[in-house]
Amino acid sequence: MKNNIAVVGQGYVGLPLAIAAANAGFHVVGIDKNRNKVTKLNNFISDIEGVDSEELKKIKSKGKYYATDDFSEIEKVQIVLVCVPTPLGTDGNPDLKYLIMACTEIAKNISKDTLVVIESTVAPGTTRNIIEPIIRNESKFGDENFYIAFSPERVDPLNNKWGIRNTPKLLSAMTEEGYTLAFNFYSKFVNTIIKCNSIEIAETAKLLENSFRLINISFINEISIFCQKLGIEINQVIEAAATKPFGFMPFYPSVGIGGHCIPVDPIYLANAAKSIGAPTRLIDIAHQINQEMPGYFVGRAEEKIGSLKQKKILVIGVSYKPNIADVRETPVEALIVGLKNKGAEVSWHDDLVKEWNDEKSVVLSAEYDLAIIATPHDYLDLTKLGMVPILNTRGTV
């Protein structure tokens, strides 16, 4: 039983983690409430980029992995990793409903001395003040018969340089014994584990990582607007600045920030700061800049071809970053809405995404009044556009 673990949530974080643990010798059950996803996983079909059928087939053939939507399987394990989404709600505030639901079900099914590790991103104090009481109150065993740790995910889909094994992992726990259990587990497949002196430090560090990125990307987007008005190319400016070997880190312009982390995590930090009366003005301004970028490029489109009414516009690339099919929080959605609100007839091309928002990717062709490069995938052959004017959101001139 000591080698049995459960990973709750089989998405971009949970599935690669489950596979890494299985390859390290653990028997893993992947739990997800999406029955269609469970069926696919048990038939070696992955919707997660970077996880292919052969990987699933290999660990399943060795009896190291299976997927289910049944939380009662947690009774058979002694380590539970929680990797469920922690998005923003419709009101723009942190939404913990998936995490609370998952932890409630976990608590009802855990055995004595189970270790529960939260990998989902949360505001500081969430693990101690919300998750721990849920597990304590819902568990059959009470206060002293389970362990809680926090170790925030650091997943970057399709990053060929940094993966689960070689990305340093933050770890903290409610007790030293819980930390030791979690350390012994992760050290089987993670090279470097960094101990944080409290769970709140680890929770805040995760939010700081992505708030740093939000602020710097939003700053570079402002500089790109400046460069565009000045008539110089922003990427050449960045390239020149990046020759400095210290004190500078390059960030690059875009139509805005997408994915689960950068648009979401800073709001968790800002929300927590507001609750205790601490200022987060830079985060607030950066978030505003990010939200305004799609509208800025709608304006750039009007500058380029005049009125957009009844103009045929092709948006190229709708995922939130190049070479992946992930459309979570993609800023391209706001760009398309803004163009349509100006009366444009908008189509989009993205052979990685294929279908999105009840629409399908169209082919690249010369039948448009304007093409807007929103997400530049490597496979794109822009010569198919012929003489169509191009607006590149990743540059300035």
β pairing state of 359-360 and 355-356: antiparallel
Among candidate residues 83, 103, 227, 261, the one labeled active-site is 261
Instruction: Count CB neighbours of 284 within 10 A.
Output: 15
Q: How far apart, in Å, are the Cα atoms of 301 and each of 219, 340, 373, 397?
A: 22, 12, 11, 13
Residue 144 is predicted with a pLDDT of 65
Q: What is the token pair recorded at 168?
A: 């340093």
**Per-residue pLDDT tens for 194-235?**
999 999 999 999 999 999 999 999 999 999 999 999 999 999
Burial group, residue 225, by CB count within 10 angstroms (0-12, 13-18, 19+): middle
Q: Is the pLDDT of residue 50 over 90?
A: no
pLDDT band at 239 (very low <50, low <70, confident <90, very high): very high
Instruction: Provide the CA 1 distance to its chain's centre, in angstroms.
Output: 32
Window from 79-83, 100-104, 154-158, 265-269 with minimum mean pLDDT = 154-158
Residue 67 is predicted with a pLDDT of 97
Domain definitions of the chain by residue range? 4-197, 212-392
Contacts of 396 (CB under 8 A, 6+ apart): 224, 225, 227, 228, 232, 233, 234, 235, 253
212-392 shares the fold of 4-197: yes
Average per-residue pLDDT in the chain?
A: 95
Q: Is the pLDDT of residue 2 over 60?
A: no
Q: What is the token pair recorded at 145?
A: 């018969």
Q: What is the token pair recorded at 199?
A: 């769970």
The percent of residues in the chain predicted with pLDDT above 90, rounded, is 91
Window from 139-153, 156-170, 198-212, 251-265 with minimum mean pLDDT = 139-153
Q: What mean pLDDT comes out for the span 41-52?
A: 89
Residue 297 is predicted with a pLDDT of 98
Closest CA to 51 of 82, 4, 8, 10: 10
**Per-residue pLDDT tens for 268-286?**
999 999 999 999 999 999 9
What angle is formed at CA 179 by the lines to CA 105 and CA 79, rounded to 5 degrees? 35
Q: Is the pLDDT of residue 1 over 50?
A: no
Domain 4-197 belongs to what topology? Rossmann fold (3.40.50)
Burial group, residue 275, by CB count within 10 angstroms (0-12, 13-18, 19+): exposed
Residue with tokens 């093409």: 371
Cα(296)–Cα(335) distance, integer angstroms: 9
Q: Is the pLDDT of residue 103 over 90?
A: yes
Q: Is the pLDDT of residue 143 over 70?
A: no
**Per-residue pLDDT tens for 72-100?**
999 999 999 999 999 999 998 999 999 99
pLDDT band at 396 (very low <50, low <70, confident <90, very high): confident
Q: What mean pLDDT comes out for the span 383-390?
A: 97
Residues facing 355 on adjacent strands: 360
Residue 141 is predicted with a pLDDT of 72
Q: What is the radius of gyration, based on Cα positions, of the chain?
A: 23
Q: What mean pLDDT comes out for the span 323-348?
A: 96
Backbone conformation region of residue 256, classed left if phi is above 0, alpha if psi is from -120 to 50, else beta: left
Q: Is the pLDDT of residue 188 over 90?
A: yes
Q: Is the pLDDT of residue 62 over 60?
A: yes
Provide the strand spans (E) within the chain.
4-8, 27-31, 65-68, 79-82, 114-118, 146-150, 169-173, 193-195, 312-316, 345-349, 355-356, 359-360, 370-373, 390-392
pLDDT band at 158 (very low <50, low <70, confident <90, very high): confident
Task: Establish whether 261 is a catalytic residue.
Answer: yes
Q: What is the side-by-side order of every strand in the sheet holding 390-392?
A: 345-349, 312-316, 370-373, 390-392
CATH classification for the domain delimited by 212-392, as one of 3.40.50.720, 3.40.50.920, 1.10.3720.10, 1.20.1250.20: 3.40.50.720
- Are 326 and 291 in contact by the 8 Å Cβ rule? The answer is no
Backbone angles phi, psi at 316, to 5 degrees: -105, 115
Residue 159 is predicted with a pLDDT of 87
